[in-house]
């Protein structure tokens, strides 16, 4: 019998079927000031209209530093500071259309800078502060920013590799820049600006942000998202995150990742919600305490973080008051069924998986409060999105059959290009009439879409095709397993065998006996060819800082091939 977790309430999307059937993107126009003559600009809609309206004295941001200090900014204060920063950039010689990279820890100034850059018509380029010197150099050499906003320690980290660039950017330093010749202090940029600066009117197709994503080969690529993405970002926070104006919202994603900006900054501010930012690294007790301290209503996080909370133990949850928490979302990689069940049993909340990519700019497929959840499924397309499972000719495959997950092009937040690489951009549309995501999936009779794996992660063993997600989900149901990653290992007889890399829960020790126990545990749950024929216990799995497991690195090491770009690996 198919597993279903029944809906828990209606939320903002009260009738999915009707909304999906009748939705038109033009119906969103009335939610924005530009439809009444205001500037067409994501910064104007996210901050400025609130800064001069009824919400001007409402807290827009609680910035929680690793030290424990909290800086809170109202929409009025954020509007003023970002206007000063925008005007200061113009005084520095930065022009509309220029790229300005922000290479900072998650401080309040990161948010001020991102809003200020987009306000003056620039293209913001948020970079993970964990990136190393060569990774930063690759992005700077590719994107050619006019300026980089950074801190003294990050400036020192990258100065040697950036100094040799033919057109070095200006450096804006947050903190003491004495002794850093040729740099400008963040405070001086603010002083040079004008708090009455108004957002520049942009074309809907003008880019406002460039997000760099890693590839399996070559250098990272710069994905450009347009100002019109605001339509789908608003829809995403309204229907997927189920956000409203009165909510306190915590998205744990770093702004270096698209989730951290599209539904982490801009989307929630369109509806006037208060957002939480945390500068520190993951710690289970700290994370639970943040929900309790700020009375978080909606929490958007990643499957890896949820699995790490599971690893910390169920008893810990009882030490905290999580009664404010109404809705939980997860994105970044597939959410294992076991984690969904844990959410219900331990957090007493459903966890709503949703699917999208940097290139799609906003949620495209999701589970909703008003709908049943099928654990392991990414859900159904958001209103306005046409999603299908197709073959390599673009023909939709029958229900239950594996194929390529594809979207009909033209949704508002769809990327408008890859910086400096039109050929790479066109490759996404090689199947006529479709944007091909690179994911393998199938659709069930109710229209729910199920992820099988990245096309290049699919394991071909004994003549069968197998997605790693199914095996990984079975593995973490074993009580000794905290995390798992599965890849295909070359094998002369079977083509490939299933190899599992496993992180054990605390209190468990690696042994041949445990390997055999785990193998048998999975063998009786999956198809005859799907169990791992080889298990390796590891301390950690290679992940991006956003928490996504980088299976291709494990696979490359097993096959003796190039691991590709590793700049987004967590340090």
What percentage of the chain has pLDDT greater than the value 90? 75
Question: What's the confidence (pLDDT) of residue 505?
Answer: 92
Mean of per-residue pLDDT scores for the chain = 92
Q: Per residue in 212-242, pLDDT tens? A: 987 545 678 999 999 999 999 999 999 999 9
Q: Is the pLDDT of residue 54 over 80?
A: yes
Q: Is the pLDDT of residue 359 over 60?
A: yes
What six digits make up the tokens of 195?
């708090």
What residue spans define the domains of the chain?
16-443, 457-559
Rounded to an integer, the average pLDDT of 504-527 is 90
Beta carbons of 394 and 386 less than 8 angstroms apart? no
Q: Which of 95-104, 160-169, 307-316 has the lowest mean pLDDT?
A: 160-169
Q: Select the CATH number that applies to the domain covering 16-443 from these four: 3.40.50.12780, 2.60.120.10, 3.40.50.2000, 3.40.50.1220.
A: 3.40.50.12780
* CA 275 – CA 35 distance, rounded (Å): 26
Q: Is the pLDDT of residue 266 over 60?
A: yes
Domains 16-443 and 457-559 share a fold: no
What six digits make up the tokens of 159?
């100065």
Q: Select the CATH number that applies to the domain covering 457-559 from these four: 3.10.20.600, 3.90.1150.10, 3.40.50.720, 3.30.300.30.
A: 3.30.300.30
Q: Is the pLDDT of residue 568 over 60?
A: no
Question: What's the confidence (pLDDT) of residue 504?
Answer: 95
Question: What's the confidence (pLDDT) of residue 44?
Answer: 98
Question: What's the confidence (pLDDT) of residue 552?
Answer: 80
Question: What's the confidence (pLDDT) of residue 465?
Answer: 67
Rg (alpha carbons) of the chain, rounded to whole number = 23
Say which residue the tokens 């400008």 belong to.
184
Q: How confident is the model at residue 437 (pLDDT cuts 50, 70, 90)?
A: very high
Question: What's the confidence (pLDDT) of residue 167?
Answer: 85
Q: Per residue in 61-84, pLDDT tens? A: 999 998 899 999 999 999 999 999
Higher pLDDT, 445 or 457: 445
DSSP secondary structure letters along 255-318: TTSHHHHIIIIIHHHHTT-EEEEE-S---HHHHHHHHHHHT-SEEEE-HHHHHHHHHH-SGGGG
Say which residue the tokens 């301390």 belong to.
539
3-state helix, strand, coil in the chain (%, to 5): 35, 25, 45
* CA 491 – CA 494 distance, rounded (Å): 6
Beta bridge pairs of residue 543: 549
Rounded to an integer, the average pLDDT of 521-540 is 87
What six digits make up the tokens of 51?
């800064």
Question: What's the confidence (pLDDT) of residue 567?
Answer: 60
Beta carbons of 266 and 232 less than 8 angstroms apart? no
Q: Is the pLDDT of residue 456 over 90?
A: no
What six digits make up the tokens of 256?
């270096």
* CA 378 – CA 371 distance, rounded (Å): 12
Q: Per residue in 312-342, pLDDT tens? A: 999 999 999 999 999 999 998 888 899 999 9
């Amino acid at each position: 019998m198919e597993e279903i977790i029944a809906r828990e309430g209606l939320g903002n999307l009260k009738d999915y079927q009707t909304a999906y059937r009748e939705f038109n993107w033009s119906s969103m126009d009335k939610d924005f000031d530009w439809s009444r003559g205001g500037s067409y600009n994501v910064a104007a809609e996210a901050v400025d209209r609130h800064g001069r309206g009824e919400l001007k004295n409402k807290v827009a941001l609680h910035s929680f530093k690793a030290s424990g200090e909290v800086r809170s900014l109202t929409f009025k204060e954020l509007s003023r500071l970002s206007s000063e920063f925008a005007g200061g950039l113009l005084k520095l010689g930065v022009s509309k259309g220029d790229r300005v990279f922000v290479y900072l820890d998650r401080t309040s100034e990161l948010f001020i800078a991102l809003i200020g850059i987009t306000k003056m018509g620039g293209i913001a380029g948020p970079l993970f502060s964990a990136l190393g010197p060569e990774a930063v150099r690759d992005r700077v050499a590719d994107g050619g920013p006019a300026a980089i906003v950074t801190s003294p320690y990050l400036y020192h980290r990258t100065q040697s590799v950036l100094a040799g660039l033919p057109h070095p950017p200006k450096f804006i330093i947050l903190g003491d820049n004495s002794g850093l010749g040729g740099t400008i202090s963040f405070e001086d940029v603010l002083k040079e600006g004008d708090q009455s600066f108004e957002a520049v009117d942009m074309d809907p197709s003008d880019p406002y942000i460039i997000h760099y994503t890693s590839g399996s080969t070559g250098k990272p690529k710069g994905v450009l998202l347009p100002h019109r993405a605001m339509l789908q970002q608003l829809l995403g926070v309204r229907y997927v995150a189920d956000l409203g104006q009165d909510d306190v919202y915590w998205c744990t994603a770093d702004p270096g990742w698209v989730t951290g900006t599209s539904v982490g900054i801009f989307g929630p501010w369109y509806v006037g919600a208060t957002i939480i930012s945390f500068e520190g690294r993951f710690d289970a007790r700290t994370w639970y305490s943040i929900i309790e301290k700020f009375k978080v209503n909606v929490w958007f996080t990643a499957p890896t973080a949820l699995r790490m909370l599971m690893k910390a133990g169920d008893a810990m949850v009882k030490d905290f008051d999580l009664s404010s928490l109404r809705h939980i979302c997860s994105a970044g990689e597939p959410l294992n069924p076991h984690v969904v069940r844990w959410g219900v049993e331990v957090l007493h909340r459903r966890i709503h998986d949703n699917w999208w990519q940097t290139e799609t700019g906003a949620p495209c497929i999701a589970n909703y409060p008003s709908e049943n959840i099928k654990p392991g499924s990414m859900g159904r397309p958001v209103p306005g999105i046409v999603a299908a499972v197709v073959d390599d000719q673009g023909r939709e495959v029958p229900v239950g059959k594996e194929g390529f997950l594809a979207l009909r092009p033209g949704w508002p937040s769809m990327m408008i290009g890859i910086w400096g690489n039109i050929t790479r951009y066109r490759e996404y549309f090689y199947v006529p009439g479709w944007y091909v995501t690179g994911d393998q999936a199938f659709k069930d009779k109710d229209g729910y879409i199920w992820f099988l794996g990245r096309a290049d992660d699919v394991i071909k063993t004994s003549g069968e095709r197998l997605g790693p997600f199914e095996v990984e989900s079975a593995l973490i149901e074993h009580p000794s397993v905290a995390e798992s990653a599965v890849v295909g290992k070359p094998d002369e007889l079977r083509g490939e065998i299933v190899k599992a890399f496993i992180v054990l829960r605390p209190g468990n020790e690696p042994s041949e006996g445990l390997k055999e126990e785990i193998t048998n545990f999975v063998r009786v749950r999956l198809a005859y060819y799907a169990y791992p024929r080889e298990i390796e216990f590891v301390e950690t799995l290679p992940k991006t800082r956003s928490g996504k497991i980088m299976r291709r690195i494990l696979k490359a090491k097993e096959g003796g091939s190039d691991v590709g770009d590793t700049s987004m690996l967590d340090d």
